[in-house]
Structures are given as C-alpha cells and as structure tokens.
Amino acid sequence: MTSPQARALCELNTRFYADQAADFSATRQSTWPGWQHLLEVLPERSQLSVLDLACGNLRFERLLAAARPETAFRFFAVDSCDALLQNDLQTSYQHLDLCAVLSESNANPARSSAGDTLPLAAALDAPACDLAVCFGFMHHLPLAEWRLALLKSLLAKTKAGGPVALSFWQFAKDPRILAKAAPLPADAGGGPGDYLLGWQGQAALRYCHSFADSEIDALAAAVSEQAELLARFSADGKTHNLNHYLIFRKR
C-alpha cells in the first residue's frame, strides 16, 4: 500500500466518524472487559496522569475514575472527532489528526531520523504521563510503519516504569463480522487483513485492519529494548477474543 492510498483510507474514516459520531458513540458506552487487566498494573499513587490517544467518548477515563475514586487523575485525551467527546471529566483535550501527523512524518523521513524527536510525540500537548493507552484505533492505521511510530510515540510520552497499553482488533476471528466485511480491493492498496466495514445497514464505510498474530509479534519485538512486555491476552466481544492486548512497562 502506498502512502497516498493510506491517506485516502484515513480520509474515508474521518468522514465516517464525522457523519456517524452520535450513533457510533451511542453504541460505545460500556467498558471493555480487557481494560480490567490494566487496573492491575496501575501504580498505587494518589495522583496519576494518563495519556489516551484516540480517546473517543472518554469511556476509558470514566472507568478509571470509577474504579479508583481515591486517585486524582489528570487526563490528557487526543482525538480528531470532537463530536464523539463527552467531556464530563476534568480532561485536557487536544484535537489532533493522528493519521495526518503520521502521514506527514512518513512523507518526510528526515524528520524521524535517528536522534530526532518523534514527530507524533512532539505534536502531543501532554507531558510524560504515568500511563499511556491507545484502544480501538490501531486497526484504522493502514501502514505498519505508522503503527510502530504510534507505539514509539506512546512510549516516548510515558514516564520510566509506567505502563503502556494498546488493543488490536482481530475481527476476522468472528465469522459473523467477517461475513459483513468487504476485502479492500488491491487497486486501493488492499492486502491481507484489510477490509471495508459498513455501519448498521447504512452506506457509510470505514477502513479497518484485522491483525494477524504475527503483526502484533513484530510490533512487540520492535520496542523490546524500550519496553518490557508485562501482559498479552485476548478479550472482548461475545467470543472473548476480538481484541488482542499488549501491556508494556517502559524501561
């Protein structure tokens, strides 16, 4: 897949969420079971800072606030679809198109040369946090190098010893979802795992990638010197295996 093809898919997703924000958010009110594992590695402190890339409607933040009422959280939330935001918490919100930043970095590799600050990390209006997460978004990144850049940026914005958690959608494991997904055509850059998914019987489409275990293996291996892998597991959905999680501790 070329960078222009990847950018076109990101633009498709931007239009999808702008048009379907209210309906989509209405179906995303409950917490994911997999998030409970992250509570087990949260530092026991009276104050914690949290960075959430692709925060959506802040349901992860609500889980943390409810699960740890004795903790004063400072949330730094980032997304490009402001219409999804339900900001009833004390949250510092940044409107930022993550795909656009990653695309620009990929188009200008000199900016990401060894020793330079990661462009995405530099674009984030947040300090190094005690915890950094990205849930329900990696499957919207069409290129492997963008996924790695996002993971490295999360690590760059995490304090030493802090946990970093990501989820990877593996919807191809569910025959019901797979039957509704159309493989992305080769002339649009489609390859293994690339699909277009509809929404509630409407014509609206979004690009989604269903991750193979080998792709997740490669990402974990690529940051092994920067982070210790604390946990790896599958959870969520009726089959309890639709999301695959990686939880790291920054070295």
Domains of the chain, earliest start first: 27-171+212-250 (3.40.50.150)
The pTM assigned to this predicted structure is: 0.93
The pLDDT confidence band at residue 21, using thresholds 50, 70 and 90, is confident
The pLDDT confidence band at residue 250, using thresholds 50, 70 and 90, is very high
Q: For residue 30, what pLDDT is reported?
A: 83
% of the chain beyond a pLDDT of 70: 94
Average pLDDT over the chain, rounded to whole? 92
Q: For residue 107, what pLDDT is reported?
A: 61
The pLDDT confidence band at residue 193, using thresholds 50, 70 and 90, is very high
In the β-sheet with 202-209, what is the strand arrangement from edge to edge? 181-183, 194-199, 202-209
pLDDT at position 108 over 80: no
**CB-CB contact of 177 with 245 (8 Å):** no
pLDDT in tens, 177-186: 999 999 999 9
